[in-house]
């Protein structure tokens, strides 16, 4: 019961703008879309199109690197975009809740654009920043900023009431994404000094702890990104993650002083349903 009380408090703090939600692929899965909603699922789709070495099977980043190296970046872009080019799913209770309460910042770490659709392209009270690949000449930047309507800006507007940060990018026809080892090599070289983290993201995390929803940290790359995005933020992070943790996840939680609530994501959606009722 104490854990669920803590969850209620954390969700209230998100709604009050005092805590930053950090969303993983499992939140995307709540939409019920046919798009892949886990790294292994996306990896399996890519593997069904291109035969990869056995050592790479099941590892999205390694599969993406193999395709990029052997079939060129354009092939990887097309395969990934095709995987996400499916009809949108239904209502997503977490995205819809966040669109209602409009927190100062949301970090969404999966590749789809469902949260952007939930926030509404016709609104002018939010914008987004996405990480972009420097592989293939798309840009020399680490990220790009856009208005809700898709207009590109030099940087995120500090006056936006809400900012959506997509650190790994967007797998849309117009977007760019980081997925291969080549994408991440320069980013990881600079990320410790925060160069790839947008200035406005750094500003909005200051003094605010994170609420991790639908995330797993059983991959080193995902831990590195979360660690750097949460750097110099507030204390008292909370993560809703069910079941046993890997040893590296346990170490990661200890390092960042994350309080873990051992509960499924459905505990969050049930609370949202009750609140709406």
**Global confidence as pTM:** 0.95
- CB count within 10 Å of CB 133 equals 25
Residue 167 Rama label (left phi>0; alpha psi -120 to 50; beta): alpha
Tens of pLDDT, residue by residue, the chain (277 residues): 468 899 999 999 999 999 999 999 999 999 999 999 999 999 999 999 999 999 999 999 999 999 999 998 999 999 999 999 999 889 999 999 999 999 999 999 999 999 999 999 878 899 999 999 987 555 678 999 999 998 999 999 999 999 999 999 999 988 899 999 889 888 888 888 888 999 999 999 999 999 999 999 999 989 999 999 999 999 999 999 998 999 999 999 999 999 999 999 999 999 997 666 4
Q: CA 115: distance to chain centroid?
A: 10
Pairing of strands 105-108, 20-23: parallel
Q: Which residues in 68-209 belong to E strands, given as ranges?
A: 105-108, 126-131, 143-147, 152-153, 162-166
Q: What is the CATH number of domain 2-31+92-276?
A: 3.40.50
- Domains in the chain: boundaries: 2-31+92-276, 41-84
Report the pLDDT value the prediction gives residue 174, as an integer from 0 to 100.
Answer: 84
């Amino acid at each position: 019961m104490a854990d669920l009380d803590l969850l209620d408090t954390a969700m209230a703090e998100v709604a009050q703008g005092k805590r930053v939600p950090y969303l993983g692929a499992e939140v995307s899965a709540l939409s019920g879309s046919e798009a892949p909603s886990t790294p292994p699922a996306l990896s399996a789709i890519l593997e069904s199109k291109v035969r990869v070495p056995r050592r790479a099977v099941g590892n999205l980043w390694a599969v993406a690197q193999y395709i990029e190296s052997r079939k060129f970046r354009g092939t990887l872009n097309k395969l990934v975009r095709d995987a996400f080019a499916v009809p949108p799913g239904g209502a997503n209770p977490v995205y819809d809740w966040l669109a209602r309460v409009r927190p100062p910042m949301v970090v969404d770490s999966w590749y789809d654009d469902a949260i952007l659709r939930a926030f509404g392209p016709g609104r002018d009270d939010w914008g987004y920043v996405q990480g972009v690949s420097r592989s293939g000449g798309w840009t020399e930047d680490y990220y790009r900023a856009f208005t809700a309507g898709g207009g590109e800006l030099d940087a995120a507007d500090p006056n936006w009431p809400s900012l959506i940060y997509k650190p790994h990018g967007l797998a849309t026809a117009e977007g760019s994404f980081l997925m291969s080892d080549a994408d991440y090599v320069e980013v990881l070289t600079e990320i410790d000094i925060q160069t790839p983290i947008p200035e406005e993201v750094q500003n909005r995390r200051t003094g605010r702890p994170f609420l991790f929803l639908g995330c797993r940290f059983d991959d080193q790359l995902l831990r590195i990104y979360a660690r750097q995005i949460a750097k110099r933020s507030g204390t008292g992070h909370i993560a809703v993650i069910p079941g046993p943790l890997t040893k590296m996840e346990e170490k990661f939680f200890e390092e960042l002083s994350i309080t873990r609530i051992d509960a499924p994501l459905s505990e969050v959606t049930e609370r949202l349903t009750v609140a709406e009722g």
